[in-house]
Amino acid sequence: MTGTVRDRLARAGSATVANMLLRRGLRNVLMTGVRPLTAGQRPLVGPAYTLRFIPAREDLDILSGYASSDHLHRRAVEECPPGAVLVIDALGSTAAASMGDMMAARLKRRGVSGAVTDGGYRDSAAVARTGLPCFHRDNAPRATPVALHPVALDEPVGCGGVAVYPGDVLLGDADGVVVVPRHLVAEVAAEGADAAAYEEFAALQIERGRSLFGLFPGTSESRQEYDTWVAAGRPGLE
């Protein structure tokens, strides 16, 4: 995906993008209970590369397994493409870690855009220090094999109650994480960025004491005012 599309999505924000999808009949695109690891972290944007977990079984899931180079949890970290987002279906469980700080550091180093899980991370403070934009439900300090078994890479999964197909684009910010179906990314990004720009105009008007009626949601008249304002170089906007 182009930098322009990334910028437009980030500028629009997850709540506005979700509205653009709602207009297309898609109601279930925002993950539930998945939040930024740290307040104020920068937005996350990128295509999904998925890792699917199922519950662990004591005879199959042992710490030593992590030494093997074909261990799926390890492979996910080494194979997630640069620029992509590692999306982890952790069954919504924080009974064990979806990832720890060593893995986060490696993802960051490999140029991965970020990580999203409907479970949680261990060593969460250290994960945050890597600077990798991460989203999760809550801390999950227990060792992964205690409760989670990696079973597949890059296949359709559910995360936070939303379907994620490989290649769908994720946008994460303070409001949470929205999933944009591949084929809608470009148009939704454009529409969303435009909506965000109009909101800047509306915010200015509200500051000047104008009521929401006829302003938000916009009308043809207010859209015209907006166009004039844009043509005039967006006066009043620092």
- Can you tell me which of 2, 4, 28, 224 binds a second copy, judged by CB under 8 A? 28
- In whole angstroms, how close is the CB of 133 to a second copy at the nearest point? 15
42 in contact with a second copy (CB under 8 A):
no
- Judged by CB under 8 A, the stretch of 2-10, 18-26, 185-193, 225-233 that binds a second copy is 18-26
What per-residue string of b and e applies to 108-126 under the rule 16 or more CB within 10 Å gives b? Answer: beeebbbbbbbbbbbbbee
How many other C-beta atoms can be found within 10 angstroms of the C-beta atom of residue 155?
13
Annotated ligand binding at 99? The verdict is: no
Q: Which of 45, 202, 226, 229 binds a second copy (CB under 8 A)?
A: 202
Nearest CA to 44 among 139, 115, 130? 115
Which of 7, 194, 199, 225 forms a contact with a second copy (CB under 8 A)?
199
Q: Which one of 162, 170, 180, 188 is in contact with a second copy (CB under 8 A)? A: 162
As measured in angstroms, the least distance from the Cβ of 97 to a second copy is 8
d(CA 86, CA 75): 12
* Residue 89 marked as a ligand binder: no
Place of tokens 């952790």: 90
Stretch 66-105: interaction string toward a second copy, x if CB under 8 A: xx-x----x--xx------------xxx---x--xxxx-x
How far apart CA 145 and CA 196 sit, in angstroms, is 43
Contacts of residue 140, defined as CB under 8 A and 6 or more positions apart, other chains included, come to: 90, 93, 94, 95, 96, 97, 98, 119, 120, 121, 122
* Cis ω before 217 (30° cut-off from 0): yes
- We find the least distance from the C-beta atom of residue 176 to a second copy, in angstroms, to be 6
Question: Known binder of ligand: residue 61?
Answer: no
Give, in order, the Cα–Cα distances in Å from 69 to each of 75, 84, 99, 146: 7, 21, 17, 20
Residues 100-159 that bind a second copy (CB under 8 A): 100-103, 105-106, 109, 122-126, 139, 141-143, 146-147, 149, 151-152, 155-158
Tokens of 59: 């005879």
- Binding-residue total with a second copy (CB under 8 A): 81
122 belongs to an annotated ligand binding site: yes
- Known binding-site residues for substrate equal 100-103, 122-123
- Known binding-site residues equal 100-103, 122-123
